[in-house]
Structure 1
């Protein structure tokens, strides 16, 4: 700008209006460009202009549906947090129920919140049960990791959206029971109870993981103690991570940036399987820069107090650690689903299962399935 005295446009995930204003006010640029931000929320500018900043659906920088789909696998653009990209902009807001409909949603994660908001927006009387004292589910938990804090913006958006819906009743700190569900006389019950860490029957795992004073933790063991780890001097500490998927790599990134010596173990031929190409390349760069010891085609055999026993090509090896993390993915958690199906069998009540409680996946699938509650309403003749 100074050298050529020409108007300058800048870009780079400008998400917050105050940041955009500061860039312009301080003369760093004359115009701002937005790409992913406008995929996430095409109404970003209009919402800011009209003072509706609490309604902004800010990009969470996941790169899954945009760069991952378009560049990585040459498929049409989608968006993790904006199902309207493929379903039609605000398509559901033109729909209204043609009769009174009660919808009960079990689980206040991103999938459950999307389903509840969508149902309420088309006119259903909607009730949402969440066992925890807060909403947001796994997205809220993962956002406690410093590198993942942007994810928090999505549950915040959903919560702000829910607050404006007078026909949506949310009960936190409340475990859904069959009696409570029946008392609400539902026409549709949506199960969205999410997932829990996958902890297979590996010798020593269940005796140690997330136990008091244990050095062996799951991803939740890290998240629930994140303040302690944030304050801890981890320079030179030995960290072992089992599992080279997205969760394991998040753990590696956290400790590698704090100067720890990290070893990651993955039984597949490579880490990062199933990740979008942009995020995977970032992780590969990080692993190399931080000199992470990557062990692929290596299986976990046993967990001891301060070491993992692993095997590669028939040879056992002991990997010692100051803290060890077992990140073998997530598994569906749906304790009520069988009872719901049995209880409402032969009735006119529609029971649907969405998000991670079907199969542990990503936010994008759960949100899409949450929005698809309109398909269920059509199926029962309510739209």
Structure 2
């Protein structure tokens, strides 16, 4: 705590005193019931963050006008008194750990979730969709605007009765109040459109209504997009002017950014620095003198402390950071920073799961966002030996988990370092943040005396058998997929060849520093291919081309990364060939064939050559199962449990391997129970 005096200084706002400066901002979870009520799992999720020391927890946005105002597959509701008991149970549980609790009040407007509307048309300031390709909404009438204003007040009253310490009004991120504030959406010609004052009128009415209901001593927060990062949208300067009409009656400004079409600046993409948008909060704080919250990839406590010390903000919001590590505050307070499980901003389990797939919230690096460390309470009853083959993130998670429940664990890694493919990909400058995950796993492993790690050691069945294992975990990772394409195997790996894989790039990064004037061609428009493209366009390559067999690039990417990558492709003028197959590889060009479905493409239906100075073949990864057949034979001969996890099973994302690593608990429990049943009794029993 002494190293971070500003983080741990209490802050009083009206009658609410926050014990430290760390805030969990509202992030949807898809954990609520379909009826909009809290359930046991949902409350437990928030309790973990309160137990971990978070000062202020702002519950995810709650619907105050169902169904027109709803967003998300399942969303909390606060539009009726029947929701107060569940909300009260939440505040009661979080207050028990000393956390202050707020709730975000929101109307989705044109961003309303179509699946809950029963055929109703979304509403907005005007008939402008809230995102590219979105549904066209209808304009609200004046009577409807005033009715929604009253609903905001009623919802705030319910929050106060449920013993929340604060409410936050959502006026950003392409939701209804944002749709009135932003000139991109608001094309009205009445008193709710046109001038900045008119566009701010709806939000002004809402603030006044909420204040009239909750009284003078109850804190009110306002969240908004300080810079929309879109042509024709509000800039930071515009927002500072708009806030002149909204400041009165607001106690806390939650300074966020972006709209739906610039989502990568709201749910920050991986390559944005810790605290990158604190300059926005600083500008708001300096002008209005209000308590101000900033956010933006803040993972490092030193960055958080500096932002506070420099007066750029009063509170630090860490949404994804607290999903990844609910104990962030407690670890920093007690000097355990080396054990922080820092969010890597991959945006898969927290954003893509919820927004794109309508799945419940999950985390790539935290395999249990609800129960956290509860598994450690169930120690094995019998001695148990576990052998893990592979020291990537899946193997390390399995090894640590097994050791933490009392198993004796041996992990073998053939390379001389740990971290696997995650460590390799993190060599790319824009993916460097991924390093934080293997760093955490290694530090966690160091705390476990019953976990023995051998790097630079390739294990075989003989080595494994000598340890008399009860369980063997195969976590051997993946290697590049190299299909039988003419010329591929002849060119790749040949001395002085100009054809490479991703590992050739990662293995010698300095070789590629000066790319000015070079022509780069990349085969494969998935995650790996786009990473290679990003690397070279930012190093000044004269021309970069990408070829993809499917109709679109980045089909399987999470929505944030895809937005970021498509923006990069457009910004740098990357030449894109979709619906195009690689047919042959020559020394200095790829032979391609277009499928012929895009009639306006210059190469539609044709075969053509794509020349290059350097060509990269990035057709994905495949599981490395070189040891798996031997392990299956070993299982048949000995009866030892053998499990296959991570990319060694199927090449996928880190999130899959992390979850499967934690799932070793299921196998451990099975073996432990079997020992209960079949361990011979002593002769005198």
TM range, smaller chain: over 0.9
Partner of residue 216, structure 1: 499
Tell whether 2:455 aligns with 1:193.
Answer: no
Of 256, 262, 265, 2:547 maps to 265
Q: 2:575, 2:634 → 1: CA distance?
A: 51
- Displacement, 1:212? 3.1
TM-score, normalising length from structure 2? 0.55
SS at match of 2:540: coil
Summarize the alignment of residues 202-241 of structure 1 with structure 2, pairs less than 5 Å apart: 202-229=485-512, 232-241=513-522
SS at match of 1:28: coil
Summarize the alignment of residues 269-284 of structure 1 with structure 2, pairs less than 5 Å apart: 269-284=551-566
Q: Is the 8 A contact 2:634 2:640 kept in 1?
A: no
Tell whether 2:592 aligns with 1:301.
Answer: no
Of 650, 655, 665, 1:364 maps to 655
Deviations 1:256-278, CA, capped at 9 Å, x for gaps: 11122110000100010111111
Partner of residue 333, structure 1: 624
Partner of residue 47, structure 1: 331
Q: 2:659, 2:357 → 1: CA distance?
A: 19
- Displacement, 1:382? 4.8
Query: How many residues are matched?
Result: 380
Tell whether 2:345 aligns with 1:64.
Answer: no
Partner of residue 360, structure 2: 76
Q: 2:589, 2:564 → 1: CA distance?
A: 28
Partner of residue 96, structure 1: 379
- Displacement, 1:180? 0.8
Of 295, 298, 319, 1:11 maps to 295
- Displacement, 1:346? 4.6
SS at match of 2:369: helix
Q: Is the 8 A contact 1:107 1:193 kept in 2?
A: yes
Tell whether 2:645 aligns with 1:354.
Answer: yes
- Displacement, 1:90? 1.0
TM-score, normalising length from structure 1? 0.97
Q: 1:214, 1:45 → 2: CA distance?
A: 51
Partner of residue 247, structure 1: 528
Q: 1:290, 1:210 → 2: CA distance?
A: 30
Structure 1 stretch displaced more, 206-215 or 132-141: 206-215
Tell whether 2:608 aligns with 1:317.
Answer: yes
Q: Is the 8 A contact 1:97 1:382 kept in 2?
A: no
Tell whether 2:457 aligns with 1:174.
Answer: yes
Q: 1:304, 1:125 → 2: CA distance?
A: 52
Q: 1:343, 1:189 → 2: CA distance?
A: 10
Deviations 1:80-119, CA, capped at 9 Å, x for gaps: 0000115x22122111001000000000000000000000
- Displacement, 1:381? 2.7
By relative contact order (CA 8 Å, sep 6+), the higher-ranking structure is: 1
- Displacement, 1:170? 0.4
Of 281, 299, 309, 1:25 maps to 309
How well do the aligned residues superpose, as a CA RMSD in angstroms? Answer: 1.1
SS at match of 1:343: helix
SS at match of 2:651: coil
Compared CA separation, residues 372 and 309, structure 1 to 2 (3 A): same
Q: 1:102, 1:227 → 2: CA distance?
A: 43
Q: Is the 8 A contact 1:10 1:33 kept in 2?
A: yes
Partner of residue 291, structure 1: 573
Q: 1:136, 1:382 → 2: CA distance?
A: 32
SS at match of 1:61: coil
Partner of residue 344, structure 1: 635
For structure 1, the residue ranges without an aligned partner over 5 or more in a row are none
Deviations 1:204-255, CA, capped at 9 Å, x for gaps: 11112133321111010110121221xx321231110000000001001111
For structure 2, the residue ranges without an aligned partner over 5 or more in a row are 1-284, 597-604, 675-685
Q: 1:186, 1:149 → 2: CA distance?
A: 36
Structure 1 stretch displaced more, 88-97 or 175-184: 88-97
SS at match of 2:415: coil
Q: Is the 8 A contact 1:124 1:167 kept in 2?
A: yes
- Displacement, 1:54? 0.4
SS at match of 1:294: strand
Larger radius of gyration: 2
SS at match of 1:301: strand
SS at match of 2:299: coil
Q: 1:322, 1:187 → 2: CA distance?
A: 53
Partner of residue 466, structure 2: 183
Q: Is the 8 A contact 2:526 2:553 kept in 1?
A: yes
SS at match of 2:291: coil
Structure 1 stretch displaced more, 337-346 or 108-117: 337-346
